[in-house]
């Protein structure tokens, strides 16, 4: 967790702080399917810069939503996975997915 917790006006603001933004929901969505390496996430998400992905992954890790595991290999291998807390976001992400599917279908 971050060392300086800030007050939130409502619970939705907390959720947006932890899991919102342009890339975090996509990162979480793909990690629901299992452990991924940085390059895999970048390819799956598409359009995200290395810097942006790195920052988003660090923030998710600070909030205790994902785990970063570094393997002592050459070259180094780093894998990302959801923590128990991260897995509790599954219903939220599923609801977002269903809403997006319905919205997209109505736009045709």
* Residues 6+ positions from 49 with CB-CB distance below 8 Å: none
Fold of the 11-106 domain: Arc Repressor Mutant, subunit A (1.10.10)
Q: From the CB of residue 9, how many other CB atoms can be counted at a distance below 10 Å?
A: 7
Q: Give yes or no for residue 108 having a pLDDT over 90.
A: no
What pLDDT, in 10s, does the model give residues 43-91? 999 999 999 999 999 999 999 999 999 999 998 899 999 999 999 999 9
Give 41 or 108, the one with higher predicted confidence: 41
Confidence of residue 5 (pLDDT cuts 50, 70, 90): low
Domain boundaries, the chain: 11-106
Confidence of residue 103 (pLDDT cuts 50, 70, 90): very high
């Amino acid at each position: 967790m971050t060392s300086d917790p800030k007050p939130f006006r409502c619970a939705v603001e907390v959720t947006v702080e932890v899991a919102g933004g342009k890339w975090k929901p996509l990162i979480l969505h793909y990690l629901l399917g299992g452990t991924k390496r940085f390059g895999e996430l970048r390819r799956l998400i598409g359009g995200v810069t290395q810097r942006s992905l790195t920052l988003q992954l660090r923030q998710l890790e600070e909030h205790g939503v994902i785990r970063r595991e570094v393997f002592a290999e050459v070259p180094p291998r780093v894998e990302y996975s959801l923590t128990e807390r991260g897995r509790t976001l599954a219903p939220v992400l599923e609801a977002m997915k269903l809403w997006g599917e319905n919205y997209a279908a109505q736009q045709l």
